[in-house]
């Protein structure tokens, strides 16, 4: 949304970006017209050929404004906008700024106006947090829905701000896209790319009050296994949560009471018909669901089962 109204080139190609009326995007083919970055196994489709080698080479050449996901393992480069070699476009009000061969080749992405961070960075600056309720563990759980969080630092002198270091730049971009603008503990969370390229751990003896945590080796990382199904189940925050790893002895009332005791309004609940280890629960708002995920993901349900919570694309 930060790019709405910006020009790709000097005084032309103005971007118009708004929220779609669609609730989901169905992609059947991976080709030059559509692509599902979580389903690399999709066919190219009849009548929708992939880019011919010369054209693919052109779109993959330096000087292209590419998708933030370009260069990720297994991801094909997105269609971009070629720029004449060595041509520098003067900055004008309302434009994206100079787009030179060198800058676009180095960054590999379109810069967002007002963002002071480093493109391709894996560290996010998260602002407008509730300093009385937010914790490093809470940020780890929330941002961990969209990637593996390595480190979290809540600012010692400004506790409404934090740094979150993801495993890579693509995960950072994904988390930023999905979480910036969401309400958390009564405040609208903002996430941008940070100027820092790593989150520094406190020196020995340095006062920190437990505000900096290293989660690099956490067993709760959702994406550490290559080819994990979690890659195919990444969805924006929603009022409906997907629950899994439920033991046979836990009933619907047990789970509804668990979420009610966490301060949630339970509007609907249902077990999966074919697999009672999974269920959907609809809460009173997206904010409630975000806070419930933070509090109850990995909750011990007994019988060596820990509850797994994620956002659902389905409704009840």
Instruction: State pLDDT tens for residues 202-259.
Output: 888 787 889 999 999 999 999 988 877 888 889 999 999 999 999 999 999 999 999 9
Residue 260's pLDDT band (cuts 50, 70, 90): very high
Predicted TM-score (pTM) of the model is 0.64
Class of domain 123-214: alpha beta
3-state SS, 1-61, equals CCCCCCEEECCEEECCCCCCCCCCCCCCCCCCCCCCCCCCCCCCCCCCCCCCHHHHHHHCC
Q: Which residue has the tokens 């989901």?
A: 24
Domain ranges within the chain, ordered by starting residue: 1-110, 123-214, 235-311
Q: How far apart (Å, rounded) are the C-alpha atoms in residues 44 and 211?
A: 48
- For 132-151, what is each residue's pLDDT tens digit? 999 999 999 999 999 999 99
Between 38 and 296, the more confident residue is 296
SS3 116: coil
- What are the backbone angles phi and psi of residue 243, rounded to the nearest 5°? -110, 140
Is residue 112's pLDDT more than 50? no
* CATH of span 235-311: 3.30.70.330
Do 123-214 and 235-311 come out as alike in CATH topology? yes
Residue 53's pLDDT band (cuts 50, 70, 90): very low
């Amino acid at each position: 949304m930060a790019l709405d109204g910006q020009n790709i080139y000097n005084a032309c190609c103005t971007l118009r970006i708004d929220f779609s009326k669609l609730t989901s995007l169905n992609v059947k083919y991976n080709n030059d017209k559509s692509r599902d970055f979580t389903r690399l196994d999709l066919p190219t489709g009849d009548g929708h050929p992939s880019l011919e080698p010369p054209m693919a080479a052109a779109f993959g050449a330096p000087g292209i404004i590419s998708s933030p996901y370009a260069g990720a393992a297994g991801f094909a480069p997105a269609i971009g906008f070629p720029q004449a070699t060595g041509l520098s476009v003067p900055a004008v009000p309302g434009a994206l700024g100079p787009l030179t061969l060198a800058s676009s080749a180095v960054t590999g992405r379109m810069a967002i106006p007002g963002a002071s961070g480093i493109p391709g960075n894996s560290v996010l600056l998260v602002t407008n947090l509730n300093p009385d309720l937010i914790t490093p563990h809470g940020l780890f759980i929330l941002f961990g829905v969209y990637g593996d969080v390595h480190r979290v630092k809540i600012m010692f002198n400004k506790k409404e701000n934090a740094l979150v270091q993801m495993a890579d730049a693509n995960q950072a971009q994904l988390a930023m896209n999905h979480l910036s603008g969401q309400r958390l503990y009564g405040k609208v969370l903002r996430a941008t790319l940070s100027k820092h390229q790593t989150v520094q751990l406190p020196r020995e003896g340095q006062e920190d009050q437990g505000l900096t945590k290293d989660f690099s080796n956490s067993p709760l990382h959702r994406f550490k296994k290559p080819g994990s199904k979690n890659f195919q189940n990444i969805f924006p925050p929603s009022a409906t949560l997907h629950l899994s790893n439920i033991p046979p002895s836990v009933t619907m009332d047990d789970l509804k009471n668990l979420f009610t005791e966490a301060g949630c309004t339970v509007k609907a609940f249902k077990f999966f018909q074919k697999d009672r280890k999974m269920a959907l629960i609809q809460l009173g708002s997206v904010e409630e669901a975000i806070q419930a995920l933070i509090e109850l993901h990995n909750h011990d349900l007994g019988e060596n089962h820990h509850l797994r919570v994620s956002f659902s694309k389905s409704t009840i």
